[in-house]
Chain A
């Protein structure tokens, strides 16, 4: 083994590996590893010869080679350029002389810039670091936003893929589940779609292996598989007859599952595996990386094998995927489906009145929820870059001022005005390029950090990686920063390049004015960022302050799905009850309850219900509510108090009278004037059959609790004892005295002892489930607050630099004032007045910009207005204090000036 390689070599090789993405994919697949190794070897050899200098010197031809060869490879790949022949060609004519002269002078400028920057290492380091921070931050966020929101989804011709949602006329923007019967009609009657594929999520338990494990995946129709062009890596994809009613159970495995559980053995294709206690034939392995749209993971895929005649037109429990025919727009497809929906409503008014279909592009549907926060983050990154650029421009202006005499001398000796401007621009470009290179490394780390820290609810995180787009973006950001930073001092130079005549005082004053303007801009941009951060923090605190209506502490939750053999049997009803008894009997357990859908765990089951005695609505507008089968002690476990009536008891079992408890939201909505306790209701659909549930008596009203997120207001709920309303899966909730996670293994054992083919999934403390609903807000808040902090620091550095510069320039004046009787306080006040003028202007501009911009993040805010005066004032005060502090340091130094020394200075 060789000794560990020096850092500079590893860094260089790492940069090269990033740069390798410039090559076309095919070439990369063939040679990228070897290329990287060869370059790393080369750099290491140079390091042994000449140390760090050797590595840096070797990087230049390596970079040139990378750029020219990758461009050539891409052109060859695209067929624009013929592959280079082996035979030696005639040498091209030498380039025109003008070009060669320009290149020579560029080379001279570059060498000069390198020399002069090396003479000011502290200045160069600060500038490069500042730009690297700005470019790195923006590029990292861009990489994420680009991969998530801008790039097409990883499916063939993904642009024409869409979901069809069923929507009701009351809530047209809410994506509702689809009825299989309706979808069949859409497929038959449309003129705009390639087909309609149906799918449902699938949770199944794999047994017959070392450890039974719960798998996620989907049950899909053949059309779904066909529309997504699902292919098999081994074995075969689904065929039409796999989807027939009564076809044998067949399954495709994901690549990862095949690798991890079946050791990548191709022999598994054709054999049978055991899912939910049934044998399934493995027909194929999915391609690596395949995942159903909008699912975190897809481990298994099987066919729905729907018997459409057995489905009720009024029951909706599917999702639908479609693909537009070529040349069809989403508007046309939507119009087509609206026409069909209207005709279905006319034919089946009972079920289809007010029911419409909504075709929504897969891409839009996937990213809609995170789009605003993504763009807010991108904007925040861009603002950080702006502040960084303003800072650097200020520094360059200052530097140009101190070099006034040198530059004037050059002009006097015959350097043309254009040449001097070019010199300054070259210097800025060189700095920006170095900043861009370091920024790219920061972006690489930043992107990894973003992906690692981002909440799992953000879609497509797995697709985020540095790619050619990243490089392009970083290059553009670098060039733009260099041009902006360089243009400001260079343009000034153009105007005042009058030669040696110009006195230093005048130009320095002009420089100060420009720098003041830059500082004003920085303050304004920093304020916008801080206001954004402040609003998100306020919003987050408001969220945390919401009363969930339940106490999640000390509760361990886990989902358990029974296998098919339980369904409908007697053991079905008894299984959960006896399991809960056994859990409750374990040491350390205060109580054990269960519920169909755990609060904060997502999902919903609901439907309409009737109120016996009141007339049933003709137009289908019956009362509706979410339905939750629960254990009798559900409300005790969650510490949600009853508002009226009684809770469930052990007597509310299968043999007992049919009962229900409603929440206050339902009571307010449907019994606004009276006491619902003692009233009766009837759920129209029971979960395991298409028949109506029996009539139930309302025995109590429970206080409202949040079910999904802390910012979603309570909605009507009907709770029923699970013993009277059998379901095949439930969340177990175990209330313990100490740390609930300590009970995890015991809970697993208890379940395994009860049935070795069952597996628990989604195990975790209820507090964690609740916390996860806040992840996204917390993430955007943290990121934007981080950016705002960076902008604040850069802004303060800018103010400090300017005031220090200005104070140094006015040393004589200050000395004179003090000699004439000004006190130290007078001097400090004078300097602070200068700071406050810029500050006030910057804050004023910032507030105007904030009011214009924060409305774009309104959808991210909870219970706080986008122009909340308290937040804006707080932010402005904080910014003002920091800025004054930055100005105070040089001001104090100014007040310590010894007049006698100052007057002699210059």
Chain B
């Protein structure tokens, strides 16, 4: 799975938890986006995103990885790592 495919599968998950003004801009979502700073997702909703990511990609995210998943880029890196460990 390449990075583009991963980001396309992340968009609908993020859309569920992002506020309205961010939802409109999600088509232009880049890897640099920071969940809290740029997408206005609070740290508790970030947990919901990560649980949805686990389901979408059929992977398990550990605490240490979870703490790193603050940007789209870091999340893609961790998803790729977890997929390769399967």
Q: Judge: A and B partners, yes or no.
A: no
Chain A residues with CB under 8 Å of chain B are none
